[in-house]
Amino acid sequence: MTRIVAISGSRREGSTTRAALRVALDAAGDAGAETDLIDLGAVDLPLYHPDEDAQGDSEALTRRVREADGVLAGTPVYRGSYSSTFKNFHDFCGSDEYANTAVGLLATAGGGSYGGTLEHLRSTFRNVHAWTVPDEVGIERASSKVATGGDPHDHPRITDDDLRRRTERLGRVVLEHAERMRG
């Protein structure tokens, strides 16, 4: 079975990034993928140190990425780029984790600007030999469009129909490309 893992680069309890990723991940699951979510706000991951092999949960987390056929990478927009939380995890990962991996990108913005964030993500993923799919999702004013729910087990939803369809499509497209790359 094709495995898709989503990585949420948000530490916020009511994270629109995590909720939107769950919408994409659910679509991949409905299309036949085995799914997994890495919530970087809920793991033990100290600042990356190049002289130390494993730190905190880094070994288990990077193994989950390495074993995935596809990745949905999501981050909130901070200062026109991705979050330091995502960057820190990304520093633990390299071409061993992302070789022959289809990656879909998602960015959530409090305001209206997410283009630079998606470009920064694309560039850093190319640097570790990942294959970013052409589809990507940017969500402006995310708190008004993504319902996170109060309970972690609540089903997240995107209230804008077009945006919800694009987010679900991102999950399916990552699955499709991951399956092609496996075969």
Nearest-angstrom CA–CA distance, 128 and 31: 27
- Can you give the pLDDT at residue 154? 64
Tokens standing for residue 162: 């077009």
- Can you give the pLDDT at residue 151? 56
Q: Check: CB of residue 97 under 8 Å from CB of residue 66.
A: yes
- Can you give the pLDDT at residue 169? 98
Q: What are the two backbone dihedrals, phi and then psi, of residue 20, each rounded to the nearest 5 degrees?
A: -65, -40
Nearest to 104 by CA among 139, 74, 147, 144: 74
For every one of its 183 residues, what pLDDT tens digit does the chain have, with 9 covering 90 and above? Answer: 999 999 999 999 999 999 999 999 999 999 999 999 999 999 999 999 999 988 999 999 999 999 999 999 999 999 999 999 999 999 999 999 999 999 999 999 999 899 999 999 999 999 999 999 999 999 999 999 998 865 555 678 999 999 999 999 999 999 999 999 987
What predicted TM-score, i.e. pTM, was given to this entire model?
0.95
- Can you give the pLDDT at residue 150? 59
- Can you give the pLDDT at residue 112? 83
DSSP per-residue codes, the chain: --EEEEEE----TT-HHHHHHHHHHHHHHHTT-EEEEEEGGGS--PPP-TT-S--TTHHHHHHHHHT-SEEEEEEE-BTTB--HHHHHHHHH--HHHHTT-EEEEEEE-SSS--HHHHHHHHHHHHHTT-EEEEEEEEETTGGGTEE--SSTTSPPEESSHHHHHHHHHHHHHHHHHHHHHH-
CA atoms within 13 A on the CB side of 5: 17
